[in-house]
């Protein structure tokens, strides 16, 4: 495959959620078509894409069809089975980001080890495969510890605080006695995030730092750019550049950080894809994260990342989506809805970007 890809080419996306939907809209604007592979019927991304293959991610016929028809394949969530990516690569199709980024980010333990080896600070942590391992971690690091499954957790799922050593067995049972990681508390004063992009020729573009507000492990709000973050910015940018370079990364990556009271930054985790903390770029930047990702995987030059205005991004979770008429009536607010019919509690149904006035 020769890059840059010319408009008219087909881009494959593994995953059919809202991130795929917004990637597909961005791809269409640049003249590309998109094929979505998703097991879900009526998926948010499929409804705005040229083609949907409804099949399991490891379905060989669906993957073969993708390899035959797509010039490049990317993904919109990181829990795509590694075997699916390996199958596509064996068929000779370009996959971006590459398999290593996916493998590292799928395993919280590997992710932290990789980060530390690349010179990026994280909380102290310990591998936990048994209750004895957890007891040893408690003896070494003290309580409390946050016990997380190594794989498959998201939005605060698969995590439990171990507040006292005597709670170890119950905590390990609560996460299903699965391979896990025990983390020291981050003791952060706030959570920051940075959206980073790397193109096929190795050029890097970084968006401004933003501030994340979580509730019950789910992102509620992003303020962009983060206020008072001048001191944190150089270190955040250094971390982002180290990660992208160490992974020889192509595409957009979402990087979540803790800022401690002493100003020190720690990496929480990274996602090898467009990210909820970057939704503000849709209305705050000339080139948003979705277009940036399409540009990167297609070998186009990266676009500008500076904030043209401040934005407050608010997630609409579950029934909150019913408030769309109120948001739609606000002149400074843009509404993004994902076309999901069932508003389950905590489900990301849409978001709004509220443009901040220059003096605020
Ligand atoms: P995660 O899924 O690992 O990003 O965790 C979800 C949220 O839990 C984070 O955004 C933090 O608010 C919180 N959290 C995660 N890890 C830690 C930690 N080691 N110490 C304190 N809070 C944490």
One domain, residues 165 and 91: no
Q: What is the mean pLDDT of residues 60-77?
A: 97
Contact 151, 213 (CB under 8 A): no
The pLDDT of residue 115 is: 98
Number of domains in the chain: 3
Provide the percentage of residues in the chain whose pLDDT is more than 90: 95
Any domain includes 114: no
- pLDDT greater than 70 at residue 164: yes
CA 155 to centroid of ligand 1, rounded, Å = 9
Substitution site in 121, 146, 161, 182 for ligand 1 pocket (most atoms within 8 Å of beta carbon): 146
One domain, residues 55 and 21: yes
One domain, residues 173 and 195: no
State the pLDDT confidence band at 217, using cuts at 50, 70 and 90: confident
The pLDDT of residue 254 is: 98
**80 vs 156 pLDDT, higher one:** 80
Instruction: Among 183, 204, 223, identify where a domain stops.
Output: 183
One domain, residues 199 and 317: yes
The pLDDT of residue 360 is: 46
The pLDDT of residue 336 is: 98
Sheet with 159-162: strands ordered across: 125-128, 180-183, 145-149, 159-162
- pLDDT greater than 60 at residue 306: yes
Any domain includes 103: no
CA 172 to centroid of ligand 1, rounded, Å = 17
Q: Dihedral through CA 110, CA 277, CA 208, CA 301, nearest 10?
A: 80
- pLDDT greater than 80 at residue 232: yes
Q: What is the mean pLDDT of residues 136-142?
A: 97
The pLDDT of residue 248 is: 97
Any domain includes 317: yes
Give DSSP secondary structure letters for 166-232. Answer: GGHHHHHHHTTT-SEEEE----EEEEEEEEEEE-TTS-EEEPPPEEEEEETTEEEEEEESPTT-TTT
Atom nearest to 184 CA in ligand 1: 19
Q: The CATH number of the domain where 153 resides is what?
A: 3.30.1490.20
Instruction: Among 167, 183, 199, identify where a domain stops.
Output: 183
One domain, residues 179 and 205: no
- pLDDT greater than 60 at residue 359: no
One domain, residues 52 and 69: yes
The pLDDT of residue 78 is: 87
What predicted TM-score, i.e. pTM, was given to this entire model? 0.96
One domain, residues 148 and 195: no
The pLDDT of residue 94 is: 96
Burial of 61 (C-beta count, 10 Å sphere; 0-12/13-18/19+): exposed
Q: The CATH number of the domain where 59 resides is what?
A: 3.40.50.20
One domain, residues 135 and 160: yes
- pLDDT greater than 60 at residue 166: yes
Distance CA 89, CA 84 (A): 9
One domain, residues 153 and 282: no
Q: What is the mean pLDDT of residues 240-244?
A: 98
Reported as a single tens digit per residue, the pLDDT across 312-331 is 999 999 999 999 999 999 99
Q: Which residues line ligand 1 (CB under 6 A)?
A: 123, 146, 153, 156, 183, 185-186, 191, 214, 217, 256, 268-269
One domain, residues 215 and 343: yes
Q: The CATH number of the domain where 250 resides is what?
A: 3.30.470.20
Mean pLDDT for the chain overall: 96
Q: What is the mean pLDDT of residues 218-242?
A: 96
Any domain includes 146: yes
Any domain includes 105: no
| CA-nearest residue, atom 10 of ligand 1 | 217
Domain of residue 37: give its range.
10-95
């Amino acid at each position: 495959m020769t890059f840059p890809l010319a408009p008219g080419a087909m881009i494959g996306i593994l995953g059919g959620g809202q991130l795929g939907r917004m990637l597909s809209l961005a791809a269409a604007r640049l003249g590309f078509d998109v094929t979505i592979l998703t097991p879900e019927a009526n998926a948010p991304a499929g409804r705005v894409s040229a083609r949907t293959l409804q099949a399991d991610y490891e379905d060989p016929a669906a993957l073969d069809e993708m390899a035959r028809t797509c010039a490049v394949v990317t993904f919109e969530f990181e829990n795509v089975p590694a075997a699916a990516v390996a199958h596509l690569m064996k068929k000779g199709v370009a996959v971006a980001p590459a398999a290593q980024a996916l493998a590292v980010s799928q395993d919280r333990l590997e992710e932290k080890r990789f980060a530390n080896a690349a010179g990026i600070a994280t909380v102290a942590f310990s591998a936990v495969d048994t209750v004895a391992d957890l007891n040893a971690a408690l003896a070494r690091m003290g309580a409390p510890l946050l016990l997380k499954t190594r794989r498959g957790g998201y939005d605060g799922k698969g995590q439990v605080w171990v507040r006292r050593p005597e709670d170890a067995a119950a905590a390990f049972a609560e996460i299903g006695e699965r391979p896990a990681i025990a983390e020291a508390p981050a003791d952060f004063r706030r959570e920051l995030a940075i959206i980073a992009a790397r193109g096929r020729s190795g050029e890097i573009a970084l968006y401004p730092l933003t501030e994340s507000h979580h509730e019950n492990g789910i992102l509620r709000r992003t303020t962009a750019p983060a206020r008072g973050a001048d001191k944190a910015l150089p270190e955040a940018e250094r971390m982002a550049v180290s990660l992208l370079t160490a992974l020889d990364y192509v595409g957009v990556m979402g990087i979540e950080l803790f800022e401690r009271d002493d100003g020190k930054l720690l990496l929480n985790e990274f996602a090898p894809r467009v990210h909820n903390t970057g939704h503000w770029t849709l209305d705050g930047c000339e080139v948003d994260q979705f277009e940036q990702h399409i540009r990167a995987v297609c070998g186009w030059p990266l676009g500008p990342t500076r904030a043209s205005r401040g934005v407050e991004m608010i997630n609409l979770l579950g029934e909150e989506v019913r408030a769309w008429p109120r948001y739609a009536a606000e002149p400074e607010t843009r509404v993004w809805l994902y076309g999901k019919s069932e508003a389950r509690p905590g489900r990301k149904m849409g978001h709004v970007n509220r443009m901040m006035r220059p003096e605020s």
